[in-house]
Structure 1
Amino acid sequence: MGNGLRYRIHTAFARSNLKPRREPYWHRISSGLFVGFRKLPVGEGTWIARYRAPFGRQQYRALGELPGLDDAIAIAMVWGQSKKAEMSPAKPGVATVESVCKTYVARLRVRRGEDSSRDAQGRFERRVFGTPFGAMVFADLRSHHVRDWRDDQVIEDDDAEVVRRSKDSVNRNLTSLKAAFNEALRDQLVETDAAWRAVEKFPGVGQRRSAFLAPEDRRRLLASCPRDLAILVRTLLLTLARPGEMANADVGHLDVAQGTLFVTGKTGSRWITLSSAALRLLKAQAKGRGACEPLLTDGDGLRWSKEGWKRRFKDAARSAGLSDDVVLYTLRHVGITEMVAGGVDSHLVAKLAGTSTKMIDQHYGHVQHSKTREHLDAVRILSARA
């Protein structure tokens, strides 16, 4: 048993000398399990237990007034064991969250093809497979498990746009998870969808990409960037890669002979076919460097990181007179928009960008419609007098 803050709450005398406050005085029992004493302005005070699952948010249970710490620990340990039991691995042959998701991916591949199944597979590999949540017995699932799984994925950041994109991504993960669970419901593995029906998406975070940089905006931005940042900006515009994918890329991932770049990121791995301009730029960065060295580096010769580019890009964007909603990720949006507007097939754009054709159609369909209208207007089906 950990010693934690025991000396502060182990006797009635010690507790009587504590200052009243809302936050309990905590004592650690074991990994993830705590018991706390809340000193009140009037009366002796109350006890509370706290437990955090390996993947989820903290859970609390009020224990009320008790004679002492040992009594609180005894009750908290029983409650903690029940929480851990909910997360215990399933016996062989028993459906788990992971097995349900794998079944769904296999059926999705048959029904809708490789692209749709690959998207779901990638989401489950990142958030379900090999996790305590994935190991749960599917029939034992409760809504608070799904809610904790959802909330634990949200990135905490002082940049509202980062949080919005994070929640938007979580919503897509939740959609795939619910689809897998609904498939299991149809297979009668459970009798009700109560465990996930009440867990809703985050509202108002799926806005269509609005920030766009016209050619003149891009020129001003590049002129405002230091040389190392300008190279990163050019690369993102030319490749459709995510910032993190380029940060992960090594020199050895560039295949000069084939004109391709191998990238790895949140959606898995893929080869990007490079334009001539992109290939020239990356060849220059790789020259004279080892295969295991980062392909792109900052001014200190270090691999790029979010902490390294975030503030510097914001400063460059402001110097260029761009709006505050322009972030490094905006460059990927600009590149995709230009490709779609240039008439590149949405399936090819999705393949290069490492996303689904559904996402391209959903967020960039308005660009495709405008381009299609230009082609239609050029066709003389009827004479001008008709």
Structure 2
Amino acid sequence: MDLPSTTGKRETRRRSGFSDQSAALTALQNFLLAERTGIAVDEALTVADYLREWLLSKQEILKATTYAGYERHVRHDLIPAFGPLPLADLRDRHVTTWSRRQLAAGRGRPTVHRCCSILSSAMNAAVSADLLARNPARNAAMKRPAAPERLCWTPQQASAFLHHNAETYNDVYADIFEVILGTGMRRGEVLGLHWPDIHFQRRVLFVRWTLASVNNARLHLQAPKTRASRNWVSLSPRVTAALRRQAARRRSTHPDQPRLQGMVFTRPDGKPINPERLLHTLRQRSAEIGLPKIGLHDLRHTAATIMISSQVPLAVVSKTLRHSTLATTVNIYGHLLPQAAREAVTALADALDHADLPRKIN
């Protein structure tokens, strides 16, 4: 093969050792494609080999919980489905067919969507590395499933739950629920809270850590969800009282420590509280007084709903929840805004009518 030359001299590329003419022609086509597009096709590179290499590159970038999810789906779903294929031979139809079969077999749509999204992300990286000309999973990936309906309690139900915990148990879990419902913090942020990050006199705390469960087997302390999450949270008198109760418990069990150290909410042996144990406690205690069954993150939704229903400005709610943008708050809680919008335009009309009244009198 003669290649273009900038020197005017003939530049020839030769390859040999092919088993037959068909193999030689295939190699020539791949070589011409690489010269034309910059895409170097490697027939020996399978989807399985590439996905394993891609996973290794993501290990230092992703959070432990996110990486564990990626690895689980790559090992258990993507490699068994597409692994033997050469990377260059993966096509949209392969991904589409696999998705349909998974759904027909009863697999959840969110899970199938997550697998396709991971595959698409990996193929995007292959395109960036000039291993593929296009992403074969981009158009075949499923649309994001609609978010499930958000469940939350009314203010009366939330109050009844906190009262039940305080009167019946008055323990570390009761105060955890008080903090979550009183601040809207995420469960991992509360469980990862450290004493040096609480400032009682200023009535604020700083979110610096979050406790996560990796594959429901290993607890991992990591940075908060987003940069916006790593922020301060104002404390109400109720939440401050809950934190002071926990401080009193810690001092009674560790009288030799002059200053409170370590994590705020722990088991009696000082080890972190597993989020699954906290969820079990929530379900058990709410069932005891006949409350609707909800999850731990729904306590955060309950706090947000109460704030919005109490006519707290949406910008303040967004800041309190530490969302990255106001649009995030609107997207999540937009269903609560029509009544607030009606009240806003009614107030506007009332103000204009009031301003117009003196002119009518004159």
Which range, TM-score by smaller chain?
0.5 to 0.7
TM-score (norm: length of structure 1):
0.51
TM-fit CA distance, 1:345: 4.6
Mark the runs of 5 or more structure 1 residues left unpaired by the alignment: 1-79, 91-95, 100-120, 134-138, 152-162
**CA deviation map 1:63-95 (0-9, x unaligned):** xxxxxxxxxxxxxxxxx99566434658xxxxx
TM-score (norm: length of structure 2):
0.54
1:271 aligns with 2:231: yes
TM-fit CA distance, 1:304: 2.0
Q: CA–CA distance in 2 between the matches of 1:172 and 1:86?
A: 19
Q: CA–CA distance in 2 between the matches of 1:347 and 1:178?
A: 35
Is the CA contact 2:181–2:303 (under 8 Å) kept in the aligned structure 1?
A: yes
> Residue 86 of structure 1 aligns with which residue?
50
> Residue 328 of structure 1 aligns with which residue?
296
SS at match of 2:230: strand
> Residue 199 of structure 2 aligns with which residue?
255
Is the CA contact 2:191–2:265 (under 8 Å) kept in the aligned structure 1?
A: yes
TM-fit CA distance, 1:180: 9.9
Q: Based on CA coordinates, which of the two structures has the bigger radius of gyration?
A: 2
| Percent of pairs with identical residues | 20
Q: Which amino acid aligns with 1:237?
A: L
Is the CA contact 1:249–1:262 (under 8 Å) kept in the aligned structure 2?
A: yes
TM-fit CA distance, 1:299: 6.2
Is the CA contact 2:205–2:234 (under 8 Å) kept in the aligned structure 1?
A: yes
> Residue 328 of structure 2 aligns with which residue?
359
1:215 aligns with 2:160: no
SS at match of 2:330: helix
Residues 215 and 85 of structure 1: CA distance in aligned 2, closer, same or farther (over 3 Å): closer
Residues 273 and 309 of structure 1: CA distance in aligned 2, closer, same or farther (over 3 Å): closer
Is the CA contact 2:153–2:302 (under 8 Å) kept in the aligned structure 1?
A: yes
SS at match of 1:267: coil
1:375 aligns with 2:344: yes
| 1:1-386 correspondence runs (5 A) | 85-87=49-51, 89=53, 126-127=66-67, 140=87, 167=110, 190-200=132-142, 203=145, 206-209=147-150, 211-225=151-165, 226-228=169-171, 229-258=173-202, 259-265=204-210, 267-268=225-226, 270-277=230-237, 278-287=239-248, 288=251, 290-298=259-267, 302-324=271-293, 326-357=294-325, 358-380=327-349, 383=353
TM-fit CA distance, 1:334: 0.7
Q: CA–CA distance in 1 between the matches of 2:66 and 2:52?
A: 21
TM-fit CA distance, 1:370: 1.8
Q: CA–CA distance in 2 between the matches of 1:314 and 1:237?
A: 15
Is the CA contact 1:242–1:332 (under 8 Å) kept in the aligned structure 2?
A: yes
Residues 237 and 174 of structure 1: CA distance in aligned 2, closer, same or farther (over 3 Å): farther
SS at match of 2:152: coil
Q: Which has the higher contact order (CA 8 A, sep 6+)?
A: 2
Greater helix proportion? 2
Q: CA–CA distance in 1 between the matches of 2:352 and 2:322?
A: 41
Is the CA contact 2:207–2:233 (under 8 Å) kept in the aligned structure 1?
A: no
Residues 217 and 184 of structure 1: CA distance in aligned 2, closer, same or farther (over 3 Å): same
SS at match of 1:208: coil
**CA deviation map 1:33-87 (0-9, x unaligned):** xxxxxxxxxxxxxxxxxxxxxxxxxxxxxxxxxxxxxxxxxxxxxxx99566434
- The range that moved more, 226-235 or 181-190, is 181-190
SS at match of 1:355: coil
Number of equivalenced pairs: 255
> Residue 39 of structure 2 aligns with which residue?
none
